[in-house]
Amino acid sequence: MHPLRGVAAIVGTCDTEVGIVPDKGPTELCSQAIRGALDDAGLTLADVDGLITCNSMADPYMYHAEMMAEYLQIFPGYTLSLGAGGGATFAALHHAASAIATGMADTVVVAMAECLRTGLTRDQAMAMQSSSGHPQFERPYGPTVPAFYGLVARAYMDAYGATSEHFAAVAVSARDHACRHPFAQMREPITIEDVLASRMIADPLHLLDCSLVSDGGCAVVLTSAERARDLRQSPVYLLGAGEGHSHEHISATHNLVTSAAADSGRRAYEMAGVGPGDIDVAGIYDCFTPVVLIELEDLGFCGKGEAGDFVTQGGLALDGALPTNTHGGLLSHSHTGNPGSMFALTECVAQLRHSAGDRQVADAQTALVHAQGGILSSHCTVILGRENT
Amino acid sequence: MSTHEGKNLPRPTPETQAYWDAAKDHRLLIQQCSDCDTHQFYPRPHCTQCGGMNMDWVEANGSATLVSYSVINRPVSKAYADDDSAILALVRLVEGPQMMTNIVDCGLADLAIGDALTVVFEDWTDEISMPKFKRTR
């Protein structure tokens, strides 16, 4: 048995309001999420001895976790400020579980917030777009983030005969779920035709193939399995975690259509002692629709090239083979940048607590969350369960 | 050259200066390991294949194939609103390495993955010329 399997549990979660939140900055949203997650756990700030955060672009600090500790006036024995884009969220869980297992900390909060929608000036937003990419060998060519993913999308279409309709089905599924979430940013139903008729952002990606631009914050509290049993919420155990890192710059990738999700997934499954067939509900990083297809395949839910049909046939629906992004995902719930995938995590925790209301997947026992940062660069997969035996 | 004002100019480093100096003369330089013969891009002093420290600069043939492409329908800034900045591409040089570039003199409808390409150079400043690619006729 892997020494980290089941030793830590998520005992508290909190999503702040998301979408357009002009009256709060990222630091306050992060603080609000931390205090909310502790309330949910029945713990207080005094219980926190470990803090992991991710920096904010709208309100950056040199030492971000220390800044948040200062803001909250807590004095932890362990902090870490992560920066690996969307993949940082679940890597943070991996670190938190390690810290708990090795005695570096007893109760670790993982918290992130960002105001991409209202916290950046237009110049800052454009600078952020143009700052991605290698400074000498990519950025001079004028790439945008959607165009980087357009390269992936086109290669995937060419390799497997995937179509724009396959991509659109991912967006429609996400929107169906968001329509059941009271706080999702986009709650009007859409159709495949709506996606195809939306304007091109980076051919072959339409506007509705792209995720949102949002404000919001999110936090989770982890503690030891032993302590978790005495707390208010039914614990959600971290059974497996794995990372995979293949490149920083998309021009340096060795494969545009198979990602390091294959590595992170294999490591997480091995640690958890489960396989794709054991997963009842999933959170799959959906910054752009084709990414979901590639990740579904690389995580073993479909054969290569088969995810388009899987999604078109309702595979991601609440009653489908793999209910996925039941909160609406980055495509329809919110995309706050680095913290974006945290909301998929808190949704999967709600699913495993059986408290997801209208979105509940019947008798969900085991969940998988996967996130990636950069341009299919930095991957982390986490497997969660109601039991740690 | 005023049409290239506002572009994101590359800033050569000690490890890449030779590449940019050659580009100024419209030559595409890549590296080749004198121990294991592997070609590599982007430039760095060690061979990523064998770990050796004996990298030579060699002039690439200039032929490549199209690996993938995307159209930038919304340019990152006005400086990139020209047609020759609109198509972002990954290309594989005949020597093996892959690089990012723009495809010039070409509409989207004309392009297909696997197309044969040839390097051309766009002069941006007295110091910087950018390697770009066009379809081989």
Inter-chain contact B7–A150, Cβ cutoff 8 Å? no
Asked whether residue B26 is domain-assigned, the answer is yes
pLDDT band at residue A132 under the 50/70/90 scheme: confident
Distances (CA, A) of A135 to A45, A46, A164, A249: 41, 44, 31, 10
Predicted confidence (pLDDT) at residue B2 exceeds the cutoff of 60: no
pLDDT band at A88 (very low <50, low <70, confident <90, very high): confident
Q: Categorize the per-residue pLDDT at A83 as very low, low, confident or very high, splitting at 50, 70 and 90.
A: confident
CA pair distance B12, B16, nearest whole angstrom: 6
- Residues B88, A250: C-beta atoms closer than 8 Å: no
Question: The tokens 């030891």 sit on which residue?
Answer: A224
**A14 has which bridge partners?**
A219
Closest B-chain CA to A253: B98
CA distance A365 to A354: 9
Would B46 be classed as within a structural domain? yes
Of the candidates B87, B124, B109, the residue with the CA atom closest to the CA atom of residue B2:
B124
C-alpha of A164 from chain center: 24
Distance to chain B for A211, nearest Cα, Å:
16
* Residues of chain A neighbouring B13 (CB-CB closer than 8 A): 136
The residue with greater pLDDT, B89 or A122, is B89
Rounded alpha-carbon distances, angstroms, from residue A13 to A30, A217, A279, A336: 12, 11, 21, 17
Is residue B2 included in any domain, yes or no? no
**How many domains in chain B?**
1
User: Is there a domain that residue B31 lies in?
Assistant: yes
Q: Is A102 exposed, middle or buried (0-12, 13-18, 19+ CB in 10 A)?
A: exposed
Chain segment A1-11, per-residue pLDDT in tens: 899 999 999 99
Closest chain B residue by Cα to residue A132? B76
Domain ranges of chain A: 8-119+212-385
A332 CB-near residues (< 8 Å, 6+ apart): A171, A174, A175, A177, A178, A184, A185, A186, A187, A212
Concatenated DSSP letters of B105-116: S--GGG--TT-E
Identify the residue with better confidence: A131 or B72: B72
Does residue B37 lie in a domain region? yes
Domain membership flag for residue B43: yes
pLDDT level of residue A84 (50, 70, 90 thresholds): low
The topology under which CATH files domain A8-119+212-385 is Peroxisomal Thiolase; Chain A, domain 1 (3.40.47)
Task: List CB contacts (< 8 A) between A204 and chain B.
Answer: 70
**Cβ-defined contact of B85 to A142 (cutoff 8 Å):** yes
Write the residue in A154, A205, A252 that is nearest to B68 by C-beta.
A154
CB pair distance less than 8 Å for B73 and A203: yes
Print the domain residue range for B57: 10-135
Average pLDDT of span A250-260: 97
Residues in chain B with CB shorter than 8 Å from the CB of A137 are 10, 41-42, 99-100
Residues of B whose CB is below 8 A from A161: none
Domain assignment present for B3: no
Residue A292: C-alpha distances to residues A24, A255, B119 (Å) = 31, 16, 34
In this predicted structure, the answer to whether residue A229 has a pLDDT above a threshold of 60 is yes
Contact A124, B71 (CB under 8 A): no
H helix intervals, A179-245: 192-197, 225-228
* pLDDT, tens only, A27-44: 999 999 999 999 999 999
Per-residue pLDDT tens digits for A158-212: 999 999 999 999 999 999 999 999 999 999 999 999 999 999 999 999 999 999 9
Q: Does residue B52 form part of some domain?
A: yes
- Residue A122 — pLDDT band, cuts 50, 70, 90? confident
Residue of chain A whose Cα is closest to the Cα of B80: A142
Q: What is the pTM of this model?
A: 0.96
Q: Which of B11, B80, B108 sits opposite A135 (nearest CB)?
A: B11
